[in-house]
């Protein structure tokens, strides 16, 4: 695939396998629903090398960034979540720095279900983010809004936007503004730091039509948004602020077991649609491949991309170096400056002899999937 005008960016940090599994399925799904490049951006401070290697077949390129002292190891911030440090969600700012060769970039989280091609999102005004405070009647319109910095800081525990999808135009100048603003957000201890940061820096922005980012809490309010109540208009469902993502519900089998329960269906009348669609089109066709990938991840997962043994190849005029993927038993090339990684030998390499390696064949271990029966209860919705 060649470079496209626009791109999607998936931002990763940490070594939690559950989140990485979501990303694997999501990138597979996104590839089926876009003709644009998919960029996997990852924190070099704590992303396992195996994560980066395994995601490469599903994305256009991988790009690392150093968030040390910016969102990582920031003692001034106390996360409101215990499962991960929410200040790390501000790592989206690195898309502004490293993706300036794209006209527009859609920063997108992995706890989403895509119901069809979403390339039409790049036709919208930028920057765009779902803005609940714009009023339900305007929630599916790409209207212009303004933000007040002081008000954002004062009320940053009650975010009026949803950062599951952000449509932006990359800019080094904006990246520098974000860098200056992160300590302000961190010192305030905002509950949703990424969303507060977005509004704080972008004093003018547009509402992202809710059909591109519908919270699973709001599936019964479509008519109030001017959308068909049967869900046919929705392109993206977002399983935000819940311990039970769509993938968890599918694995557990809870929804199928309770499909005829009137109380369950009163809440899942539309919510079941993305779950069942994801199961039939993404999960079932790809679970064997994903499970094999997960079974072969390095354990313990503490090694970072920077620790992968590499050997310099080619002309001194380039910054490309050769590395070897033990998982795929094949070499790949990485750019030390841009952090780009590709399987095919780059055209920029004018010389250098490819190193021959003899690798032992390794048998893959099979893992059994176990199910955990849980009771699924919705947490209180936030607007």
CA distances from 174 to 68, 83, 106, 156, 249 (A): 19, 30, 16, 21, 39
Identify the pLDDT of residue 323.
Answer: 73
Q: Is pLDDT above 50 for 306?
A: no
Q: Is pLDDT above 50 for 268?
A: yes
Q: Is 235 helix (H, G, I), strand (E, B) or coil?
A: coil
CATH number at residue 181: 3.90.550.10
Higher pLDDT, 288 or 328: 288
Percent of the chain having pLDDT more than 90? 63
Q: Is pLDDT above 80 for 59?
A: yes
Read off the DSSP letter of residue 279. I
Tell me whether residue 54 is in a domain: yes
Bond before 113 cis per omega within 30 degrees: no
- The mean-pLDDT minimum among 76-80, 133-137, 246-250 falls in 76-80
Residues in a beta bridge with 330: 325
Tell me whether residue 334 is in a domain: no
- Asked whether 224 and 365 are in contact (CB, 8 A), the reply is no
Q: Is pLDDT above 80 for 2?
A: yes
Identify the pLDDT of residue 242.
Answer: 82
Residue listed under structure tokens 């983010």 = 129
Sign, CA dihedral 339-341-345-348, equals negative
Tell me whether residue 375 is in a domain: no
Residue 277 is part of which domain span? 7-295
Tell me whether residue 332 is in a domain: no
Tell me whether residue 151 is in a domain: yes
Strands 310-312, 112-114: pairing kind: unpaired
Tell me whether residue 350 is in a domain: no
Number of domains in the chain: 1
Q: Is pLDDT above 70 for 5?
A: yes
End-to-end CA, the chain: 39
Q: Is pLDDT above 90 for 314?
A: no
pLDDT in tens, 105-115: 999 999 999 99
Identify the pLDDT of residue 85.
Answer: 87
Tell me whether residue 306 is in a domain: no
Give the residue from 69, 99, 97 showing the smallest Cα distance to 8.
99
**Confidence label for 264 from pLDDT (cuts 50, 70 and 90):** confident
Tell me whether residue 161 is in a domain: yes
């Amino acid at each position: 695939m060649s470079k496209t005008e626009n791109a999607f960016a998936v931002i990763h940090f940490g070594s939690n396998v559950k989140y990485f599994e979501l990303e694997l399925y999501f990138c597979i799904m996104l590839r089926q629903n876009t003709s644009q490049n998919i960029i996997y951006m990852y924190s070099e401070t704590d992303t396992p090398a195996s994560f980066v290697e395994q995601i490469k077949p599903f994305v256009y390129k991988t790009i690392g960034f150093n968030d040390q002292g910016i969102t990582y190891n920031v003692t001034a911030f106390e996360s409101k979540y215990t499962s991960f440090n929410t200040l790390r969600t501000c790592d989206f700012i690195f898309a502004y720095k490293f993706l300036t060769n794209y006209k527009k970039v859609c920063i997108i989280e992995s706890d989403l279900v895509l119901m069809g091609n979403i390339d039409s999102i790049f036709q919208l005004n930028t920057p765009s983010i779902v803005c609940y405070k714009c009023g339900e009647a305007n929630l599916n319109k790409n209207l212009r809004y303004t933000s007040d910095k002081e008000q954002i800081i004062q009320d940053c525990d009650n975010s009026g936007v949803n950062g599951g999808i952000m449509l932006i135009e990359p800019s080094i100048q904006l990246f520098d503004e974000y860098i200056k603003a992160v300590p302000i957000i961190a010192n305030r201890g905002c509950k949703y730091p990424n969303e507060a940061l977005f509004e704080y820096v972008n004093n003018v922005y547009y509402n992202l039509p809710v059909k591109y980012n519908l919270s699973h809490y709001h599936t019964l309010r479509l008519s109030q948004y001017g959308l068909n109540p049967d869900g046919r208009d929705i392109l993206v469902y977002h399983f935000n602020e819940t311990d039970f993502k769509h993938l968890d519900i599918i694995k557990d089998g809870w929804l199928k077991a309770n499909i005829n329960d009137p109380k369950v269906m009163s809440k899942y009348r539309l919510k079941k649609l993305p779950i069942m669609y994801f199961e039939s089109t993404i999960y079932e066709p790809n679970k064997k491949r994903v499970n094999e990938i997960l079974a072969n991840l390095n354990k313990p997962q503490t090694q970072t991309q920077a620790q992968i043994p590499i050997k310099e190849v080619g002309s001194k005029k380039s910054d490309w170096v050769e590395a070897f993927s033990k998982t795929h038993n094949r070499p790949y090339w990485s750019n030390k400056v841009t952090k780009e990684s590709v399987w095919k030998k780059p055209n920029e390499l004018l010389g250098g002899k490819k190193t021959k390696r003899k690798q032992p064949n390794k048998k893959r271990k099979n893992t059994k999937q176990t199910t955990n029966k849980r009771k699924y209860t919705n947490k209180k919705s936030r607007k």
